[in-house]
Structure 1
Amino acid sequence: MKSLIALSLAAALLSGCTAIMPSRDAAGLKIASWNLEHLAERDGEGCSPRTEVNYAELRRHAEALDADVVAFQEVQSQAAAERVFDPAIYDVVMSTRPPSTRSGECRGRPGLFGDWNRRLASRNDAFLTDLNDGDPQGSTLTLASGDRPAGCKARYREFIDFIATGAGATARVQPGLFEEYLYGGAPEAEHPSDHCPITVRIGR
């Protein structure tokens, strides 16, 4: 059984997520983050209304992603998530934190593992600098994407989705295996979400 995690404002570091389930093989644990752009529970509802054809397309991409753990954002409910992630394959775990009241229901909510909605890799990003103040020891975050450009949107070449690892998890991240999943090379206009999933592998 794979694990699926819904994150909103929950502070989740990879060093805490790797214990959810053991690695399947020597390739390690594949971790993904995916903003599903206002995924609603029923057809024709929400800020990005979809049909069964659209949900089926998302299911195909979830299968192609083949991640052991997926942290997703902008999903209405567990039932919505299970329209994309087969509950016979994934354990779906929803955040119990109350929704934010600072913005409309159609706005995303950032997390330490997922859609931060800011360009953390930009030089001297104030937010990341504040997080990486060295307190407590060993808490410095490393962005799995490094300084590579994003490829999901031609207009935006910097990531706003991140997998950030603490010192312990960073030591286990397998080098060179960060990936941005571009929906099988589909044209940008045909992407089923306005974000592309990102993945890393964590070794044993």
Structure 2
Amino acid sequence: MNTQMKKTLITLAALTALVGCQQKEQQTLAPTTLTDSNNLKLVSWNIEHLADEIGKGCKPRSQADYQALANYAATLNADIIALQEVQSEKALKRVFPESQWQYVVSSRPDNEAYECRGHDGLFSTPQRTAFVIKKGINFTAQADFKALALDNPGLRYGTSISVNNGQLEVLNVHMKSGCFVSNYRKDNKKACTVYQQQGPILEKWVNQRVDSKKAFVVLGDFNHRLVDQNNRYWQELSKEDGERILLSSMQNLQSCHPKYKAPIDHIVTGPIATQWIVEGSQQVDAFGKQGELDYDDMLSDHCPISLTLSVR
């Protein structure tokens, strides 16, 4: 082998090594994203007055209670959990370890506390919507959906994130409680008059994303029996020009609550996200228990519901 050929081979080897190092560095620095082979398990859970401090709020919990929540939450095997009734990030960290989770909490200001019914001398803690996202999942927190609060300090903001470089938008809502009738437009009680204002705002958000062909999910505590056959709001929300555009995860499922079986928590998918549903993945998790629950079985007054998407 002549001297010139040796120099050429040495140069090629050096270039190959350099390219290999650059590729390795790029792979290390690139964010983890979902791929066609990845499933994304979404959970919605009203965790019931999750307070910062032991013994505080309208669901006063001991250290053992927080540990029981943490132990149970680990069994959900979720990628993204949308939570309602959370005081703060500090409260989330009591249940979802910082080593495993990323946090997004609504910016809703503290509202005036009220004395808790059945707990003399205890006062409410702020209720916020929040997300915990498994570490390694690429997401971006969007601006709070403040319009749902109607400029009323007693109402909750929606919280929104986009996942996988904007491929999927996920909106977490906690709607006004107390309007559990089939036709919310024909009931004049205060809760329903509020729902009559919130409803079209959420419907507009949905229709904008349908029209722009964006993949989205809306999940949370709707405080409304959407899957009742004659529910007017579901008919308005889920149809456009007479065509069904939304699907609820609770269409054929019941709540786990010992008394209230009609579900008010839902995971609602738009036209594109509906195509990504992993068949049979819709479920209610009754705190890991089988059969009818007793009140003592419930770590919160709502059970988590879940749905798995194969994002593509």
Amino acid at match of 2:105: M
Alpha carbons 2:174, 2:220 under 8 Å: kept:
no
Amino acid at match of 1:73: Q
Higher mean displacement: 29-38 or 185-194: 185-194
Identity %: 34
Corresponding residue number in structure 2 for 1:68? 79
- Supply the distance in 1 between the matched residues of 2:298 and 2:35 (Cα, whole angstroms): 30
Match among 90, 96, 103 for residue 79 of structure 1: 90
Corresponding residue number in structure 2 for 1:197? 304
> Residue 164 in 1 paired to residue 175 in 2?
no
TM-superposition CA deviations, 1:78-113 (whole Å, max 9, x none): 1101111111111011123457546489xx932841
Alpha carbons of structure 1 residues 104 and 113: separation in structure 2 relative to 1, 3 Å:
closer
> Residue 183 in 1 paired to residue 290 in 2?
no
Higher CA-based Rg: 2
Corresponding residue number in structure 1 for 2:43? 32
Alpha carbons of structure 1 residues 114 and 194: separation in structure 2 relative to 1, 3 Å:
same
Residue 94 of structure 2 aligns to a residue whose secondary structure is: coil
TM-score normalised according to structure 2 size: 0.53
- Supply the distance in 1 between the matched residues of 2:246 and 2:153 (Cα, whole angstroms): 26
Amino acid at match of 1:118: H
Alpha carbons of structure 1 residues 148 and 139: separation in structure 2 relative to 1, 3 Å:
closer
Q: Unmatched 5+ residue regions in structure 2?
A: 1-31, 112-148, 157-172, 176-201, 203-217
Structure of higher RCO (CA pairs closer than 8 Å, 6+ residues apart): 1
- Supply the distance in 2 between the matched residues of 1:129 and 1:138 (Cα, whole angstroms): 10
- Supply the distance in 2 between the matched residues of 1:138 and 1:71 (Cα, whole angstroms): 28
Question: For 1:90-109, what aligned pairs fall within 5 Å after superposition?
Answer: 90-98=101-109, 100=149, 101=152, 103=154, 109=174
Match among 50, 61, 66 for residue 50 of structure 1: 61
Residue 73 of structure 1 aligns to a residue whose secondary structure is: strand
Residue 66 of structure 2 aligns to a residue whose secondary structure is: helix
Alpha carbons 1:181, 1:197 under 8 Å: kept:
yes
Alpha carbons of structure 1 residues 42 and 125: separation in structure 2 relative to 1, 3 Å:
same
Cα offset for 1:120? 0.4
Corresponding residue number in structure 1 for 2:121? none
Match among 215, 221, 239 for residue 115 of structure 1: 221
Alpha carbons of structure 1 residues 25 and 48: separation in structure 2 relative to 1, 3 Å:
farther
Cα offset for 1:124? 2.4
Residue 69 of structure 2 aligns to a residue whose secondary structure is: helix
Corresponding residue number in structure 1 for 2:245? 140
- Supply the distance in 2 between the matched residues of 1:57 and 1:67 (Cα, whole angstroms): 17
Alpha carbons 1:71, 1:114 under 8 Å: kept:
yes
TM-superposition CA deviations, 1:29-85 (whole Å, max 9, x none): 111001000100000111111111000000011100110000000001111011111
Amino acid at match of 1:180: V
Amino acid at match of 1:195: H
TM-score normalised according to structure 1 size: 0.78
Alpha carbons of structure 1 residues 177 and 133: separation in structure 2 relative to 1, 3 Å:
closer
Alpha carbons of structure 1 residues 42 and 25: separation in structure 2 relative to 1, 3 Å:
farther
